[in-house]
Amino acid sequence: MAQQDKKKILFVDDDEGVREVIDGLLDIAGYDHVPAVNGQEALDLLKKESFDLVLSDVMMPVCDGIEMLRQIRQQHGFKIPVLLISGYSDIPMWHMLNIGADAFIGKPFDMSQLTTAIANHLKTAEERWISPPATLPKLDLTLNFSSQEALTASTGLNFGRGGLFAGVIRPDLARGKPVSLNLTLPPSMGGLVLRGTGIVRWTRGAMAGHLAPGIGIEFTHLEPAGIKFIADLAAATKVTAQIPEGPFGAPATDLRSTFKKTG
């Protein structure tokens, strides 16, 4: 990586051992990087220096990762991607992606998974989504909301900056599975047929408090019309969520007997 092209990463963790591991990882990957021991120190650094990406733990003293994320979004909008890492399994991924994190990675993290996530989120959405995969996923999610009535009567389809929530129950669409997308949107959304691919980031098979069951999918490829649709929607609505956690209290459609595979 040429010196002038080097990306600068701010990484935040109160555990010295984790900071040393990430320091070595970012060195090998060729990034400039600056450490911080908590969210407040990171916010102070962001006032003085420019960074291309923030990588942060969640549970920290003084200022935790969630409060740091909230303040980054208030002060910088979505110019700086924020990736959160945590070893606490009681923090649902859907919550982190809903409140504005660009990615959420559990500890202990896989080194290749982390470096891939960093490289991916240093790209613009269009750069991430424009190229189709070499092989289409075998699993397919096809939904038809060609009328506003169909969408209103449905279990929910919510778009975020980088993915969607679909209120469906699909045991075949497990976390980490790639999926082809074929979504016919209602006239109120331009009547677009959104085609592309994604990866299932989380599943919720039952009600979780006030949240309905469903799946959260991150986009990995969209046709140009889909890229423009998501960009326009995000700009118009100022949506915070990378992937929405879903509608409140809506029942999910059980598609277990009707799911299909392609290829």
pTM of the prediction? 0.90
Mean pLDDT of the chain: 89
Q: Is the per-residue pLDDT at 232 higher than 80?
A: yes
Q: pLDDT: is 63 or 185 the higher one?
A: 63
Are residues 32 and 109 located together in one domain of the fold? yes
**Residue 108 pLDDT > 70:** yes
Whole-number Å distance between alpha carbons of 68 and 38: 9
User: Above pLDDT 70, what percent of the chain?
Assistant: 89
User: Which pLDDT score is estimated for 116?
Assistant: 95
Work out how many domains the chain is built from and give that number.
Answer: 2
Tell me the pairing of strands 157-159 and 140-144.
Answer: unpaired
Q: What is the structure's pLDDT at 11?
A: 97
In the DSSP assignment, the letter for residue 245 is -
Q: What is the pairing mode between strands 53-57 and 8-12? A: parallel
Find, among 256, 243, 240, the residue nearest to 200 by Cα. Answer: 243
pLDDT confidence of residue 258 = 37
224: amino acid identity, one letter: P
Q: Is residue 247 part of a domain?
A: yes
Question: Residue 18: which domain range?
Answer: 3-122
Dig out the tokens for 142 from the structure: 């096809």
Q: What is the CATH number of the domain that holds 83?
A: 3.40.50.2300
Chosen domain end from 122, 146, 179: 122
Residue 54, pLDDT above cutoff 70? yes
pLDDT in tens, 201-216: 999 999 888 888 999 9
Residues 209 and 149 occupy one common structural domain = yes
| Residues 143, 31 share a domain | no
